[in-house]
C-alpha cells in the first residue's frame, strides 16, 4: 500500500498481477487495486477490484475475471460512483445511464477502506483530481496478526509488560525513599517469617528430645527449662517483629500504589478534557468511563496487592528453598515433585473458574440493570399494568444469578480441594521418607517438623502463582488502555504561535468549505458565506442538512477539510483555541447544567462575576423573576440535568449564562423548542436581548424563531441552496417557501411571514 | 382491515387479550398499496420498478424487511427514493411469481447475516472472544467484544455482531456437531 493519496494499491497475488498487466491497454495505469472479502453472491472469498484511469475491472484472486465483459466498466459509460451501506455488508455502485450498477461487495470489516476507494473512483470518473485521503483503520495487530478487539485498538497479547511496568514505575519515582523502604521492610519481613520454624526445630531437637544435648553442646546454663524459656521468648519476639513489619509494609504499599494511581488518573482525566470532539465521536462514553474507573482500578489492584505479594512471596520462596536444601537436599527434591502439578493444575482450573465467575458477574449485572430499568420506568410499568410481567422477568433473571453463583462456587470448591490434595501429597511423601529417616537416625525429629512447616509456607503462595499471568496481563492491558489516552494528542491543537485575539468584531467568512466527519462522506460541500459583524443568520434546513456541523466548525470542535474559514479575516486555525472559544457562546436545545446553585451555573464561564452581574444577566434573560420566586432563589441547587427546572427555565438560565459569557459570536441551536407560547415569548425577548450587537447563528426547525434574522441561509444535503431575508426567500418560491408551506399545513404553527412584533400571531394574524 | 392488533408472543408471558380500538384504528394512516395491487419487476436490469395495476408506476423502489430478525419471511415494505413507503406486503405469497422472485432476490442482497454451521474454536482472551467458524457463506474468523454483542434470541438461537458490525447467527446450536455445541456452551 502506498502513502500517496492519489493511488491506492494493495499487493496483488502473482497470478493476478500478471493477468492484470496483460489486460492493460497502452498508456493505461493502475490507480486502485484492492481486495475485498465478499463475492457478488455474498460468500466470504477474496475478490479484487482494479481501477485504472480508464476503467474498472473485477478479478478473482487467481486472476480470472476481467476478460469477461461484465467484469469491466468503462468510465466513458459511467457518471458517478458511491458506496451504499446495506445490512451486514456494503457495496460500491456506479451510475451508468439511469441505473446504479453494483461494482463490488464488501463486509463491514472493509467499510472504511471502500468508502475511500469509492471516492477515488468517483473522482476518476468525473476526471477530478484524485484525493483518497483518510485513514484505513487497523483491524489486526501489527505484530501477532491477531484481530484487534476494536479498530485501531490495542492487542492485549502484545502488550509489552516490561515497558509498561517501567512506565508505571516512573510514576513511583517521586517516592523513591518510600519505595526503597518498602523493599527493605519486605526483606526483613521475609527473614522474620523464616525464623519460627527454625526455632521450633531447636526446641524439639535440643530441648524436648535430647535435653542433654543442650548441656553438652552449649556454654549456657545446664537447665533445660531456662533454655526452653529463652527459645520460646525468641519465638515470641520474632513473631512480634514480623507482625509489626507486616503492618508497616502493607501500609506503605497501599500508600504507594494509591499515590501512583492518583497521578495516572490525573493524567488521564486531564487529557480526556483536552481531546477533540472528533475523538469523542469515535468512542462510546461508557468505554471511556471504564478506562477512568475499571482500567485504573485493575492497575491499582495490581500495584497495591499484586506487586507486594509477588515481591514478598518470591523472597520467601527463595529463602525457604535455601533452608530446605541445606537441611536435606534429597527430601527437598522429593517435595518439589507436586509443584509443577500444582502450577499447571492451578492454571487449568483458574481458566474454568474465571469463566464461571465471568458468567456470574454478567448475570449479576443484568439483574441490577433490570432492577434499575424497572425503577426508572416505574410509571410506564404501572400505567400499562405490567408489574406481574416485570416480576416474572426479574424472577427468571434472579434464578439465573443463583445458577451462576452455584456454578462458580462449585468450580471454586473443586479448585481448592484439588490444590489441598496436591499439597497433602507432598506432605505424605515427606512424612513417609522423612519419618523413615528419623527412625534410621539419619534425620532429627525437629528437622522433620521444620521441613513440614516450611512446606506449608511454600505451597500456600504457590497455588496462586498460576493466576499471576492473568493478573498481570489484565493490569498491563488496563495500563496500556489508560496510557493510550494519555498519549493521544489533542487533534485540534494550537499552532506553535497562535494569533492572539482578545477583541473580535465578529466577521465570519466561510469560503469553499468542505467537511466530512468520516473520510469519504462529506456533510458540507462548497459552503460560501460572508457574515458581517453583528449580523444574525438563521440556519434553516432538514435535520442532517449540516446546520449544526457549520456551527461545530465555527467552534472549531473539528477542523475543516478543504476551503477556508476566517474570523475577522484570520484563519480559524491560527487563532488560539482559548481566545476563540472565549469569543463564542453557545445556547443549546438541551442545556447541560453542573451540580451547584443557579448562580454558580450562570457564572460558569466567568467564576469571578459578582452576584449582581449574575442577576443583571438573569434579568436580561427574563430569568430573574422565576429564580427569585424559588424558595432558595439564586442559591437553588440544581442537579446534573437541571431536574428542578422546567424546559423554559433551563433555556433562560442557559441564555443568562451566555449573556454573562459576553461572546462576540453567538450560536443558538434550537434554543426555543417544546415550550408553551408564553414561555416562548419570554425566551424570544431574552434572545433578542442577547443577540444585540453580536454575530449570531441561529438554528431552528420552527421557522418562527428566526423572524429576527437579518438573513436566512437554507441548507440542503450539505449545500447552501438559498440565502436571503425571509421576504426574499418567500418570493423565490424555492426550498424555503416549500418548508414554510409544509409547516403551515401540518401544524398551526406561527409562520415566519407573520407580524414581527407578536410571536403569538400566525401568518394570518390569528391568535394561536 | 380488522381492529385487531397482534402482540408479539413471548414465551412465559400471558398473551394479552385482543384489544378493540374504537378510534385508534379508524385514525390510523391509510396503508399504502398491498401485495395484490402491485407488480414488481426489473427494468432495466439493475433497477427495481413497481407498478400499481392500471394506475401508476414507481421507477425505483427498495424492498426492506420490516422485522428482519423475528419475521424475515413476511412484512416487506417497499420504499421509494425518498424512503417513503409505497407498498406494504404482509405475505409474500400474495404476490405474483415474478414480483416475489425479484423481491426475494433484493432482500437476499440487502441482508447479510451468515449462518454458522460449525464452530472450530472459540478463544477468550482479555474480555474479547475470537471465533473461528464455517458459515453458509464460507469460513470466517471474527472478534466479539463483551457480552452485549452476543444475544440469545431464544434458548437455542444465537445472534452475534462482531467488532466491525458483521452479523452472524446460529439458528439452533443444539443441532450443530458435538464439538461446536460444547464450545458454545462453555464460552457463551
**Whole-number percent of chain A with pLDDT over 70:** 84
Residue B135 confidence (pLDDT) = 94
Polymer length in residues for chain B:
188
Verify that B106 and B44 share a domain, yes or no: yes
Q: What angle do CA A299, A303, A304 make, to 5 degrees?
A: 115
Asked if the model's pLDDT at residue A29 lies above 90, the reply is: no
Verify that B167 and B132 share a domain, yes or no: yes
pLDDT category at A69 given cuts 50, 70, 90 is low
The DSSP symbol for A708 reads: G
B13 located within any domain: no
Residue A133 confidence (pLDDT) = 66
Chosen domain end from B110, B141, B169: B110
Identify the domain containing residue B139 by its residue range.
Answer: 114-187
Structure-model confidence comparison of residues A475 and A317, the more confident one = A317
Domain ranges of chain A: 8-125, 329-442, 505-583+665-674+692-750
| Average pLDDT value for residue range A124-132 | 83
Asked if the model's pLDDT at residue B178 lies above 90, the reply is: yes
| Average pLDDT value for residue range A217-234 | 73
Q: Which residues of chain B have a CB within 8 Å of the CB of A38?
A: 112
Residue B186 confidence (pLDDT) = 75
Structure-model confidence comparison of residues A488 and A76, the more confident one = A76
The DSSP symbol for A294 reads: I
CB contact under 8 A, B140 and A44: yes
Asked if the model's pLDDT at residue B112 lies above 80, the reply is: yes
Verify that B72 and B120 share a domain, yes or no: no
B126 located within any domain: yes
B8 located within any domain: no
Lowest mean pLDDT segment, chosen from A63-67, A520-524, A647-651, B171-175? A63-67
Same fold: A8-125 with A505-583+665-674+692-750: no
| Residues of B contacting chain A (CB within 8 angstroms) | 12-13, 44-47, 68, 108-114, 124-128, 130, 135, 137-143, 145, 147, 162-167, 186-187
CB contact under 8 A, B139 and A44: yes
Verify that B167 and B101 share a domain, yes or no: no
Residue A216 confidence (pLDDT) = 47
pLDDT category at A642 given cuts 50, 70, 90 is low
What distance in Å separates the CA atoms of residue A461 and residue B157, rounded to the nearest whole number?
A: 44
User: What DSSP element (H or E) covers A49?
Assistant: strand A47-52
What distance in Å separates the CA atoms of residue A588 and residue A697, rounded to the nearest whole number?
A: 12
pLDDT category at B115 given cuts 50, 70, 90 is very high
Look at residues A715, A695, A378, A406 and name the one whose alpha carbon lies nearest to residue A550: A715
What count of other Cβ atoms lies within 10 Å of the Cβ of residue A485? 19
Q: What does pLDDT average to over chain A?
A: 79
Q: Which residues of chain B have a CB within 8 Å of the CB of A148?
A: 143, 163
Residues linked to residue A515 through DSSP beta bridges, in sequence order: A524
Verify that B106 and B119 share a domain, yes or no: no
Burial class (CB in 10 A: 0-12, 13-18, 19+), A215: middle
**Cβ pair A637, A692 in contact under 8 A:** no
Residue A419 confidence (pLDDT) = 74
Residue A146 confidence (pLDDT) = 65
Residue B134 confidence (pLDDT) = 95
Chosen domain end from B90, B110, B130: B110
> How are the residues of chain B apportioned to helix, strand and coil, as percentages rounded to the nearest 5?
20, 40, 45
**Cβ pair A75, A101 in contact under 8 A:** no
What distance in Å separates the CA atoms of residue A254 and residue A448, rounded to the nearest whole number?
A: 37
Asked if the model's pLDDT at residue A764 lies above 60, the reply is: no
Residue A214 confidence (pLDDT) = 46
Number of domains making up chain B: 2
Asked if the model's pLDDT at residue A56 lies above 80, the reply is: yes
What distance in Å separates the CA atoms of residue A398 and residue A364, rounded to the nearest whole number?
A: 8
pLDDT category at A768 given cuts 50, 70, 90 is very low
Residue A105 confidence (pLDDT) = 92
| Average pLDDT value for residue range A349-356 | 73
Verify that B28 and B98 share a domain, yes or no: yes
Query: What's B123's domain CATH number?
Result: 2.60.40
Q: Please give, rounded to a whole number of angstroms, the shortest distance from the CA of A194 to a CA of chain B.
A: 37
Grouping H, G, I as helix, E, B as strand and the rest as coil, residue A750 is coil
Asked if the model's pLDDT at residue A463 lies above 50, the reply is: yes
Verify that B43 and B82 share a domain, yes or no: yes
Asked if the model's pLDDT at residue A695 lies above 70, the reply is: yes
Phi, psi of A710 (to 5 degrees): -70, -35
Look at residues A256, A259, A260, A282 and name the one whose alpha carbon lies nearest to residue A485: A282
Verify that B101 and B129 share a domain, yes or no: no
- Read off the pLDDT of residues A143-175 as tens digits, 9 standing for 90 and up: 766 666 566 666 666 666 677 777 777 888 888
Residue A767 confidence (pLDDT) = 39
Asked if the model's pLDDT at residue A330 lies above 90, the reply is: no
Cell numbers for B91: 405475505
Structure-model confidence comparison of residues A599 and A375, the more confident one = A599
B175 located within any domain: yes
Verify that B136 and B162 share a domain, yes or no: yes
CATH architecture of A505-583+665-674+692-750: 3-Layer(aba) Sandwich (3.40)
Residue A757 confidence (pLDDT) = 39
B135 located within any domain: yes
Lowest mean pLDDT segment, chosen from A85-89, A484-488, A506-510, A716-720? A484-488
Asked if the model's pLDDT at residue B16 lies above 50, the reply is: no
Polymer length in residues for chain A:
768
Nearest-Cα residue of chain B relative to residue A475:
B126
B162 located within any domain: yes
CB contact under 8 A, A149 and B126: yes
Nearest-Cα residue of chain B relative to residue A150:
B163
Nearest-Cα residue of chain A relative to residue B169:
A88
| Average pLDDT value for residue range A595-613 | 86
Verify that B65 and B79 share a domain, yes or no: yes
Chosen domain end from B110, B127, B144: B110
For the domain with range A8-125, which CATH number is right: 3.30.1490.100, 3.40.50.720, 3.40.50.1820, 2.30.29.30?
A: 2.30.29.30
Verify that B28 and B104 share a domain, yes or no: yes
Grouping H, G, I as helix, E, B as strand and the rest as coil, residue B7 is coil
pLDDT category at A3 given cuts 50, 70, 90 is very low
CB contact under 8 A, B125 and A156: yes
CB contact under 8 A, B143 and A147: yes
Amino acid at each position: 500500500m502506498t502513502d500517496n493519496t492519489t493511488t491506492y494499491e494493495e499487493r496483488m497475488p502473482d497470478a493476478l498481477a500478471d493477468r492484470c498487466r496483460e489486460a492493460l491497454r497502452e498508456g493505461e495505469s493502475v490507480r486502485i487495486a484492492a481486495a475485498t472479502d465478499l463475492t457478488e453472491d455474498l460468500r466470504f472469498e477474496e475478490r479484487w477490484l482494479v481501477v485504472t484511469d480508464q476503467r474498472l475491472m473485477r478479478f478473482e484472486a487467481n486472476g480470472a475475471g476481467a476478460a469477461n465483459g461484465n467484469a469491466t466498466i468503462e468510465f466513458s459509460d459511467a457518471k458517478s460512483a458511491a458506496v451504499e451501506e446495506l445490512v451486514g455488508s456494503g457495496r460500491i455502485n456506479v451510475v451508468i445511464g439511469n441505473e446504479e450498477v453494483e461494482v463490488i461487495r464488501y463486509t463491514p470489516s472493509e467499510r472504511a477502506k471502500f468508502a475511500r476507494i469509492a471516492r477515488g473512483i468517483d473522482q476518476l470518473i468525473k476526471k477530478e483530481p484524485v484525493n483518497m485521503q483518510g485513514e484505513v483503520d487497523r483491524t489486526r495487530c501489527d505484530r501477532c496478526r491477531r484481530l484487534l478487539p476494536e479498530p485501531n485498538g490495542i492487542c492485549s497479547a502484545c502488550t509489552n509488560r516490561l515497558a509498561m511496568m517501567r512506565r508505571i514505575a516512573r510514576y513511583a519515582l517521586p517516592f523513591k525513599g518510600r519505595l526503597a523502604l518498602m523493599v527493605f521492610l519486605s526483606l526483613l519481613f521475609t527473614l522474620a517469617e523464616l525464623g519460627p520454624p527454625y526455632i521450633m526445630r531447636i526446641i524439639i531437637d535440643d530441648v524436648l528430645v535430647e535435653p542433654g544435648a543442650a548441656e553438652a553442646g552449649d556454654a549456657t546454663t545446664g537447665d533445660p527449662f531456662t533454655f526452653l524459656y529463652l527459645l520460646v521468648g525468641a519465638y515470641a519476639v520474632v513473631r512480634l517483629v514480623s507482625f509489626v513489619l507486616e503492618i508497616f509494609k502493607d501500609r506503605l504499599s497501599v500508600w504507594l500504589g494509591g499515590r501512583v494511581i492518583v497521578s495516572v488518573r490525573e493524567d488521564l482525566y486531564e487529557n480526556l478534557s483536552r481531546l477533540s470532539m472528533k475523538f469523542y465521536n469515535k468512542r462510546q462514553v461508557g468505554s471511556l468511563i471504564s478506562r477512568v474507573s475499571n482500567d485504573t482500578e485493575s492497575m491499582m489492584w495490581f500495584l497495591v496487592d499484586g506487586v507486594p505479594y509477588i515481591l514478598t512471596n518470591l523472597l520467601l520462596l527463595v529463602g525457604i528453598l535455601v533452608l530446605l536444601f541445606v537441611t536435606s537436599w534429597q527430601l527437598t527434591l522429593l517435595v518439589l515433585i507436586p509443584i509443577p502439578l500444582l502450577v499447571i493444575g492451578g492454571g487449568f482450573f483458574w481458566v474454568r473458574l474465571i469463566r464461571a465467575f465471568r458468567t456470574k458477574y454478567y448475570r449479576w449485572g443484568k439483574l441490577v440493570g433490570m432492577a434499575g430499568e424497572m425503577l426508572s420506568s416505574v410509571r410506564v410499568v404501572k400505567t400499562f399494568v405490567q408489574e406481574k410481567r416485570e416480576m416474572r422477568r426479574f424472577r427468571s433473571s434472579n434464578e439465573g444469578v443463583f445458577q451462576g453463583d452455584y456454578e462458580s462456587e462449585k468450580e471454586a470448591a473443586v479448585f481448592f480441594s484439588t490444590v489441598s490434595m496436591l499439597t497433602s501429597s507432598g506432605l505424605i511423601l515427606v512424612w513417609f521418607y522423612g519419618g523413615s529417616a528419623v527412625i534410621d537416625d539419619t534425620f532429627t525429629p525437629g528437622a522433620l517438623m521444620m521441613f513440614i512447616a516450611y512446606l506449608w509456607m511454600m505451597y500456600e503462595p504457590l497455588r496462586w502463582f498460576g493466576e499471576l499471568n492473568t493478573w498481570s496481563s489484565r493490569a498491563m492491558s488496563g495500563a496500556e488502555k489508560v496510557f493510550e489516552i494519555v498519549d493521544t494528542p489533542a487533534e485540534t491543537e494550537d499552532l506553535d504561535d497562535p494569533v492572539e485575539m482578545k477583541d473580535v468584531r465578529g466577521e465570519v467568512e466561510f469560503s469553499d468549505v468542505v467537511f466530512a466527519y468520516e473520510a469519504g462522506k462529506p456533510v458540507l460541500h462548497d459552503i460560501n458565506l460572508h457574515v458581517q459583524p453583528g449580523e444574525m443568520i438563521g440556519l434553516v434546513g432538514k435535520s442532517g442538512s449540516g446546520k449544526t456541523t457549520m456551527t461545530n466548525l465555527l467552534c472549531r470542535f473539528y477542523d475543516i477539510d478543504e476551503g477556508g474559514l476566517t474570523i475577522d479575516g484570520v484563519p480559524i486555525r491560527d487563532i488560539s483555541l482559548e481566545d476563540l472559544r472565549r469569543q463564542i457562546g453557545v445556547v443549546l436545545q438541551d442545556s447541560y447544567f453542573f451540580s451547584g446553585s443557579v448562580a454558580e451555573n450562570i457564572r460558569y464561564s466567568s467564576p469571578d462575576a459578582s452576584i449582581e452581574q449574575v442577576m443583571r444577566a438573569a434579568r436580561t434573560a427574563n430569568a430573574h423573576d422565576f429564580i427569585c420566586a424559588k424558595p432558595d432563589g439564586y442559591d437553588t441547587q440544581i442537579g446534573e440535568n437541571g431536574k428542578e427546572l422546567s424546559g423554559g427555565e433551563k433555556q433562560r438560565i442557559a441564555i443568562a449564562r451566555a449573556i454573562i459569557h459576553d461572546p462576540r459570536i453567538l450560536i443558538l441551536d434550537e434554543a426555543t423548542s417544546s415550550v408553551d407560547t408564553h414561555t416562548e415569548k419570554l425566551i424570544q425577548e431574552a434572545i433578542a436581548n442577547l443577540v444585540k450587537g453580536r454575530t449570531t447563528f441561529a438554528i431552528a426547525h420552527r421557522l418562527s424563531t428566526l423572524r429576527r434574522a437579518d438573513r436566512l441561509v437554507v441548507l440542503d444535503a450539505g449545500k447552501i441552496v438559498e440565502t436571503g431575508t425571509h421576504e426574499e426567500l418567500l418570493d423565490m418560491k424555492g426550498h424555503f417557501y416549500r418548508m414554510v408551506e409544509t409547516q403551515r399545513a401540518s401544524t398551526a404553527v406561527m409562520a415566519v411571514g407573520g407580524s414581527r412584533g407578536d410571536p403569538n400571531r400566525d401568518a394570518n394574524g390569528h391568535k394561536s | 382491515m380488522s381492529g385487531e392488533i397482534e402482540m408479539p408472543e413471548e414465551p412465559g408471558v400471558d398473551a394479552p387479550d385482543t384489544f378493540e380500538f374504537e378510534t385508534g384504528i379508524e385514525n390510523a394512516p391509510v396503508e399504502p398499496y398491498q401485495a395484490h395491487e402491485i407488480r414488481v419487476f426489473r427494468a432495466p436490469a439493475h433497477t427495481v420498478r413497481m407498478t400499481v395495476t392500471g394506475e401508476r408506476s414507481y421507477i425505483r423502489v427498495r424492498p426492506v424487511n420490516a422485522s428482519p430478525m423475528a419475521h424475515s419471511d413476511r412484512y416487506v415494505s417497499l420504499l421509494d427514493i425518498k424512503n417513503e413507503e409505497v407498498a406494504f406486503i404482509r405475505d409474500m405469497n400474495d404476490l405474483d411469481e415474478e414480483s416475489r422472485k425479484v423481491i426475494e432476490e433484493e432482500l437476499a442482497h440487502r441482508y447479510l447475516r451468515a449462518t454458522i454451521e460449525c464452530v472450530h474454536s472459540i478463544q477468550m482472551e482479555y474480555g474479547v472472544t475470537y471465533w473461528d467458524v464455517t458459515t453458509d457463506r464460507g469460513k470466517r474468523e471474527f472478534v466479539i467484544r463483551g457480552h452485549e454483542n452476543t444475544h440469545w434470541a431464544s434458548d437455542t438461537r444465537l445472534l452475534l455482531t462482531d467488532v466491525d458490525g458483521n452479523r452472524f447467527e446460529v439458528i439452533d446450536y443444539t443441532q450443530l456437531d458435538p464439538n461446536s455445541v460444547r464450545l458454545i456452551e462453555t464460552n457463551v
